[in-house]
Structure 1
């Protein structure tokens, strides 16, 4: 998942993980269950995403909790940026999975089309994107994206 913006980029300060998400919190990805039992396990490297949709959900949750290490670890090395900067004015609030193609245990590629809702300085907006995932060294990784809107 990437983010586009029309306003000038400001320097990104060091931002700590969101204090309101705990292992007992509902998982930000939208699936039933707690963060600790869902995406938190993937963030902690206790499990790997079995599908590209699971990876997409866990990457969204990583943006919510501001886990740059997980985002970089699950980004294809050919397209991975040197770092991930988090905008302190931006808050991710909800993820909608709109379509998934391939991306199961039997595939080597897959796509997930989604809409991620956020607020930017309190103003609601959303990001509509189709992300492409590939298997790299046996694990699903984010490769690239196309903005739908």
Structure 2
């Protein structure tokens, strides 16, 4: 949904001034231009289904707590922006449903790269999500930690 809408909005500038966009952004937007109207409508149907499912689940719990990403952060050396586009993220369900979510630090990988914890909540409960993140931060205090030298 997002890449289709982004491509539609930025298409004139992508064609006339592609150099004004970074490589990663250009690649993501161009993927949106490859999707059909049918793809877009199917994604919108999935969005509505997801919103209903999350609303049902959030009747039983206050928050969802997940890792932020499905894999550790990539190092700059050897970074592949296209692989990032194809990769999965635990942020996607909350982006597509519009549920408020926040990521806070929760540690480091063995390689010294940061790891995030995501807290997502009910529609329009940004204050509750921020309070949950604040409470976690006050107890875990990961924000005070610095990664080992890489």
Q: TM-score range by the shorter chain?
A: under 0.3
Write 1 or 2 for the structure with the bigger share of helix. 2
- The TM-score normalised by the length of structure 2 is 0.23
CA radius of gyration, larger in: 2
- The TM-score normalised by the length of structure 1 is 0.23
